Amino acid sequence: MVVTKTVTVRVGGQDYRLRSLIDRMQRDDPFFGVLWPAGVALAEEMSAFPVGGRRILEAGCGLALPSLVLKRRGADITATDHHPEAEEFLRFNAQANGIAEVPFKLGAWSDVQLGTFDLIIGADLLYEPDHPAQLAAFIARHAAPGARVVIADPGRRQLGAFHKLMAAQGYARAEKRYPPDVRVLSYVASAQSPEDQRAA
């Protein structure tokens, strides 16, 4: 029997109540079903991020707190994850917070085809050695011309490899820090000037 709990987190000055697993050892995938610090940091970043007119995709959404924050702001957001229970948790949590349903697509990075997006986001995605290449390829397929990519990461060892792959695709990187020790990395086309990057 799966045991869940409700956690409340404050993002952008608003409370979000999320159903999560009571611990991360209830599933074969120990990374699904709990709220990670990187997810909270990404959600906080999205609470004030310029989203008007952007088509947005959250990759590896898990509990999808950033998607919920964006949907509450009226953004055009689609969430995706490979875990078969992600959609159920997302739907429940949207309803619990009075948020409209977030479109969701189930699938692995190597398989799913969703079209192109102006902003691609994700939190704590780089667990395994092959994840940087998989995520970079996923981004290459789904990034519209001039798209931005925002990734929150707690400093996993695969992050350096991902930086190199994104640089090879022509992205420059800017970094912010959120407590306890989360990096929020914004990737933009390197042809843009720093002024363009800040205004985008």
The DSSP result for 16-29, as a single string, is EEEEEESSTTSSSS
pLDDT number for residue 3: 77
pLDDT number for residue 195: 45
pLDDT number for residue 71: 98
Give how far the C-alpha of residue 19 lies from the chain's centroid of Cα atoms, to the nearest Å. 18
Question: What are residue 55's DSSP bridge partners?
Answer: 76
Cα separation, 106 vs 115, whole angstroms: 14
Domain positions in the chain are: 4-199
pLDDT tens digits, 33-57: 788 999 999 999 999 999 999 999 9
Residues of the chain short of pLDDT 70, as ranges, are 1-2, 23-31, 191-200
SS3 123: strand
pLDDT number for residue 193: 42
Q: Does domain 4-199 have CATH number 3.10.180.10?
A: no
Q: What are the C-alpha distances in Å from 57 to residues 31, 45, 64, 70, 137?
A: 20, 15, 11, 10, 15
pLDDT tens digits, 152-185: 999 999 999 999 999 999 999 999 999 989 999 9
What is the full DSSP assignment across 136-199?
HHHHHHHEEEEEEEEEEES--TTHHHHHHHHHHTTEEEEEEEETTTEEEEEEEETTS-HHHHHH
Give how far the C-alpha of residue 86 lies from the chain's centroid of Cα atoms, to the nearest Å. 13
pLDDT number for residue 123: 97
Residue 56 contacts residue 118 (beta carbons within 8 Å)? yes
Question: What are residue 185's DSSP bridge partners?
Answer: 151, 175
How much is the pTM? Answer: 0.90
pLDDT number for residue 190: 72
